[in-house]
Amino acid sequence: MKIRVLIAEDEPLARERIRSLLDDESDIEVIAECPDGRTAIQAIRQHQPDLVLLDVNMPERSGFEVIDAIGPDTMPPVIFVTAYDQFAVQAFDAHALDYVLKPFDEDRFRTAVERARESILRRNGGTLDARLNDLLAGLRRQQRHLERLAVKSGGKIIFLRADEITWIAAEGNYARLHVGKKSWLMRETMTSLESKLDPERFLRIHRSTIVAIDAVAELEPLFQGDYVVVLRDGTRLTSSRGYRQNLQDFMRR
Protein backbone atom coordinates (compact mmCIF):
# COMPACT_ATOMS: atom_id res chain seq x y z
CA MET A 1 0.00 0.00 0.00
CA LYS A 2 1.33 3.39 -1.04
CA ILE A 3 0.77 6.30 1.35
CA ARG A 4 -0.15 9.33 -0.75
CA VAL A 5 1.37 12.50 0.71
CA LEU A 6 0.68 16.18 0.05
CA ILE A 7 3.29 18.78 1.04
CA ALA A 8 1.97 22.25 1.93
CA GLU A 9 4.98 24.52 2.56
CA ASP A 10 5.72 27.99 1.19
CA GLU A 11 9.55 27.82 1.33
CA PRO A 12 11.03 26.08 -1.75
CA LEU A 13 14.11 24.85 0.14
CA ALA A 14 11.96 23.39 2.91
CA ARG A 15 9.75 21.63 0.33
CA GLU A 16 12.85 20.21 -1.31
CA ARG A 17 14.18 18.98 2.04
CA ILE A 18 10.86 17.31 2.90
CA ARG A 19 10.70 15.68 -0.51
CA SER A 20 14.27 14.35 -0.22
CA LEU A 21 13.53 12.86 3.20
CA LEU A 22 10.37 11.21 1.90
CA ASP A 23 12.22 9.79 -1.12
CA ASP A 24 13.86 7.30 1.23
CA GLU A 25 10.45 5.94 2.32
CA SER A 26 9.57 3.21 -0.17
CA ASP A 27 5.88 3.15 0.70
CA ILE A 28 5.35 6.93 0.34
CA GLU A 29 4.36 8.76 -2.84
CA VAL A 30 4.31 12.58 -2.98
CA ILE A 31 1.24 13.44 -5.05
CA ALA A 32 1.19 17.26 -4.75
CA GLU A 33 3.16 20.25 -3.46
CA CYS A 34 1.50 23.52 -2.49
CA PRO A 35 3.20 26.87 -1.82
CA ASP A 36 0.33 28.48 0.10
CA GLY A 37 -2.78 27.70 2.10
CA ARG A 38 -5.28 28.48 -0.64
CA THR A 39 -3.82 25.99 -3.11
CA ALA A 40 -3.40 23.47 -0.26
CA ILE A 41 -7.14 23.56 0.39
CA GLN A 42 -7.88 23.00 -3.31
CA ALA A 43 -5.34 20.17 -3.60
CA ILE A 44 -6.52 18.36 -0.48
CA ARG A 45 -10.08 18.42 -1.76
CA GLN A 46 -8.99 17.29 -5.22
CA HIS A 47 -6.44 14.59 -4.36
CA GLN A 48 -7.69 13.39 -0.93
CA PRO A 49 -4.19 12.44 0.29
CA ASP A 50 -3.53 9.93 3.04
CA LEU A 51 -1.16 12.33 4.85
CA VAL A 52 -0.47 16.08 4.76
CA LEU A 53 2.82 17.74 5.73
CA LEU A 54 1.35 21.11 6.69
CA ASP A 55 3.30 24.30 7.36
CA VAL A 56 1.76 26.37 10.14
CA ASN A 57 2.69 29.78 8.69
CA MET A 58 1.85 30.13 5.00
CA PRO A 59 0.58 32.99 2.82
CA GLU A 60 -3.07 33.14 1.77
CA ARG A 61 -4.18 30.76 4.56
CA SER A 62 -2.32 29.45 7.61
CA GLY A 63 -2.09 25.73 8.31
CA PHE A 64 -4.78 26.10 10.97
CA GLU A 65 -7.05 27.89 8.48
CA VAL A 66 -6.50 25.04 6.01
CA ILE A 67 -7.79 22.55 8.59
CA ASP A 68 -10.71 24.83 9.40
CA ALA A 69 -11.63 25.05 5.70
CA ILE A 70 -11.38 21.29 5.09
CA GLY A 71 -12.99 20.48 8.43
CA PRO A 72 -11.37 18.44 11.21
CA ASP A 73 -13.78 15.58 10.52
CA THR A 74 -12.56 15.20 6.93
CA MET A 75 -8.95 16.39 7.24
CA PRO A 76 -6.40 13.65 6.48
CA PRO A 77 -3.77 12.84 9.12
CA VAL A 78 -1.39 15.78 9.56
CA ILE A 79 2.24 16.33 10.48
CA PHE A 80 2.61 20.02 11.27
CA VAL A 81 5.72 21.82 10.04
CA THR A 82 6.85 24.93 11.89
CA ALA A 83 9.77 27.13 12.70
CA TYR A 84 10.05 27.23 16.48
CA ASP A 85 6.87 28.79 17.83
CA GLN A 86 6.34 28.28 21.53
CA PHE A 87 2.57 28.63 21.37
CA ALA A 88 2.21 26.22 18.45
CA VAL A 89 4.54 23.62 20.00
CA GLN A 90 2.69 23.77 23.33
CA ALA A 91 -0.64 23.39 21.48
CA PHE A 92 0.60 20.35 19.52
CA ASP A 93 2.03 18.72 22.64
CA ALA A 94 -1.16 19.36 24.60
CA HIS A 95 -3.27 17.63 21.95
CA ALA A 96 -0.77 14.85 21.13
CA LEU A 97 -0.45 16.05 17.54
CA ASP A 98 2.77 15.40 15.67
CA TYR A 99 5.02 18.16 14.37
CA VAL A 100 8.53 18.73 13.05
CA LEU A 101 10.60 21.87 13.54
CA LYS A 102 12.57 23.72 10.88
CA PRO A 103 15.44 23.16 10.19
CA PHE A 104 14.53 19.49 10.08
CA ASP A 105 16.21 16.89 12.24
CA GLU A 106 16.23 13.69 10.18
CA ASP A 107 15.60 11.31 13.10
CA ARG A 108 12.72 13.45 14.42
CA PHE A 109 11.24 13.67 10.92
CA ARG A 110 11.34 9.90 10.43
CA THR A 111 9.78 9.34 13.86
CA ALA A 112 6.89 11.62 12.93
CA VAL A 113 6.39 9.84 9.60
CA GLU A 114 6.44 6.43 11.31
CA ARG A 115 3.77 7.55 13.79
CA ALA A 116 1.65 8.84 10.92
CA ARG A 117 2.13 5.58 9.05
CA GLU A 118 0.92 3.58 12.06
CA SER A 119 -2.08 5.87 12.49
CA ILE A 120 -3.03 5.51 8.82
CA LEU A 121 -2.70 1.72 8.93
CA ARG A 122 -4.82 1.58 12.08
CA ARG A 123 -7.24 4.05 10.50
CA ASN A 124 -8.00 5.65 13.87
CA GLY A 125 -9.24 8.84 12.28
CA GLY A 126 -11.89 9.45 14.93
CA THR A 127 -9.27 10.10 17.57
CA LEU A 128 -7.42 12.48 15.26
CA ASP A 129 -10.65 14.33 14.41
CA ALA A 130 -11.27 14.96 18.11
CA ARG A 131 -7.72 16.23 18.66
CA LEU A 132 -7.90 18.59 15.67
CA ASN A 133 -11.29 19.86 16.85
CA ASP A 134 -9.88 20.52 20.30
CA LEU A 135 -6.84 22.28 18.82
CA LEU A 136 -8.95 24.61 16.67
CA ALA A 137 -11.31 25.34 19.58
CA GLY A 138 -8.32 26.28 21.72
CA LEU A 139 -6.90 28.50 18.99
CA ARG A 140 -10.21 30.33 18.61
CA ARG A 141 -10.38 30.94 22.36
CA GLN A 142 -6.85 32.33 22.40
CA GLN A 143 -6.99 34.15 19.08
CA ARG A 144 -5.71 37.69 19.34
CA HIS A 145 -4.41 40.36 17.02
CA LEU A 146 -0.82 40.17 15.84
CA GLU A 147 1.66 41.83 18.17
CA ARG A 148 4.75 40.68 16.26
CA LEU A 149 5.36 39.86 12.61
CA ALA A 150 8.16 37.63 11.32
CA VAL A 151 9.92 38.63 8.09
CA LYS A 152 12.74 36.86 6.27
CA SER A 153 15.77 38.91 5.31
CA GLY A 154 19.27 37.82 4.29
CA GLY A 155 18.73 34.26 5.45
CA LYS A 156 17.51 35.42 8.87
CA ILE A 157 14.07 35.78 10.44
CA ILE A 158 13.50 39.26 11.87
CA PHE A 159 10.68 40.00 14.31
CA LEU A 160 8.93 43.37 14.04
CA ARG A 161 6.55 44.73 16.65
CA ALA A 162 3.20 45.72 15.18
CA ASP A 163 3.39 49.09 16.95
CA GLU A 164 6.63 49.87 15.06
CA ILE A 165 4.92 49.75 11.66
CA THR A 166 3.77 53.08 10.16
CA TRP A 167 2.23 51.81 6.94
CA ILE A 168 2.01 48.75 4.68
CA ALA A 169 1.99 48.61 0.88
CA ALA A 170 0.94 45.72 -1.36
CA GLU A 171 3.47 44.30 -3.81
CA GLY A 172 1.71 41.46 -5.61
CA ASN A 173 1.17 38.64 -3.11
CA TYR A 174 3.64 40.32 -0.77
CA ALA A 175 3.33 43.21 1.67
CA ARG A 176 6.02 45.81 2.33
CA LEU A 177 6.11 46.82 5.99
CA HIS A 178 7.45 50.32 6.57
CA VAL A 179 9.24 50.87 9.88
CA GLY A 180 10.82 54.33 10.08
CA LYS A 181 13.18 54.72 7.13
CA LYS A 182 13.45 50.96 6.62
CA SER A 183 11.04 48.56 4.96
CA TRP A 184 10.69 44.79 4.99
CA LEU A 185 8.99 42.46 2.52
CA MET A 186 6.63 39.82 3.91
CA ARG A 187 4.88 37.08 1.96
CA GLU A 188 1.32 37.88 2.99
CA THR A 189 -1.66 39.37 1.18
CA MET A 190 -3.20 42.65 2.33
CA THR A 191 -6.53 40.97 3.06
CA SER A 192 -4.85 38.37 5.25
CA LEU A 193 -2.82 41.02 7.11
CA GLU A 194 -5.85 43.26 7.59
CA SER A 195 -7.73 40.39 9.25
CA LYS A 196 -4.86 39.77 11.69
CA LEU A 197 -4.03 43.35 12.67
CA ASP A 198 -5.87 45.25 15.41
CA PRO A 199 -8.53 47.44 13.70
CA GLU A 200 -8.20 49.90 16.58
CA ARG A 201 -4.58 50.48 15.53
CA PHE A 202 -4.55 49.95 11.75
CA LEU A 203 -6.74 51.33 8.98
CA ARG A 204 -7.03 50.14 5.39
CA ILE A 205 -7.39 53.17 3.13
CA HIS A 206 -6.83 51.53 -0.27
CA ARG A 207 -6.72 47.98 -1.60
CA SER A 208 -2.93 48.42 -1.66
CA THR A 209 -2.43 50.43 1.55
CA ILE A 210 -2.85 50.00 5.30
CA VAL A 211 -1.79 52.76 7.71
CA ALA A 212 -1.11 52.83 11.44
CA ILE A 213 -3.70 55.17 12.94
CA ASP A 214 -1.19 56.74 15.34
CA ALA A 215 1.06 57.61 12.38
CA VAL A 216 -1.62 59.74 10.66
CA ALA A 217 -0.97 63.49 11.01
CA GLU A 218 -3.65 64.97 8.73
CA LEU A 219 -6.12 64.34 5.93
CA GLU A 220 -6.26 66.51 2.81
CA PRO A 221 -9.59 66.27 0.93
CA LEU A 222 -9.52 65.46 -2.77
CA PHE A 223 -12.41 65.18 -5.22
CA GLN A 224 -15.37 62.81 -4.72
CA GLY A 225 -14.60 61.95 -1.12
CA ASP A 226 -11.01 60.76 -1.56
CA TYR A 227 -8.21 62.01 0.68
CA VAL A 228 -4.47 62.34 0.82
CA VAL A 229 -3.44 60.75 4.10
CA VAL A 230 -0.36 62.52 5.44
CA LEU A 231 1.75 60.62 7.97
CA ARG A 232 3.84 62.19 10.72
CA ASP A 233 7.05 61.46 8.82
CA GLY A 234 5.73 63.34 5.77
CA THR A 235 4.71 60.28 3.73
CA ARG A 236 1.69 61.07 1.56
CA LEU A 237 -0.72 58.25 0.69
CA THR A 238 -3.95 58.40 -1.30
CA SER A 239 -7.15 56.78 -0.13
CA SER A 240 -9.69 55.29 -2.52
CA ARG A 241 -13.47 55.45 -2.67
CA GLY A 242 -13.75 51.74 -1.97
CA TYR A 243 -12.40 52.36 1.54
CA ARG A 244 -14.11 55.72 2.14
CA GLN A 245 -16.24 54.24 4.92
CA ASN A 246 -13.11 53.23 6.84
CA LEU A 247 -11.88 56.84 6.83
CA GLN A 248 -15.30 58.19 7.75
CA ASP A 249 -15.46 55.82 10.72
CA PHE A 250 -11.94 56.89 11.68
CA MET A 251 -12.89 60.60 11.60
CA ARG A 252 -15.92 59.96 13.81
CA ARG A 253 -13.82 58.35 16.57
pLDDT in tens, 55-85: 988 877 888 889 888 988 888 889 999 886 6
pLDDT digits (tens, 9 = 90+) for 15-28: 999 999 999 889 99
Same domain, 207 and 224: yes
pLDDT at 199: 84
Same domain, 234 and 133: no
Does pLDDT of 218 surpass 70? yes
More confidently predicted of 211 and 25: 211
Same domain, 153 and 224: yes
User: Cα–Cα distance between 11 and 32 in angstroms, integer?
Assistant: 15
Last residue of a domain, one of 142, 168, 197: 142
Question: Three-state SS for 232?
Answer: coil
Model-wide pTM > 0.75: no
- Taking residues 245-253, report their average pLDDT: 78
Task: Name 204's bridge partners.
Answer: 210
* Strand spans (E) along 46-166: 51-55, 78-83, 99-102, 148-153, 156-161
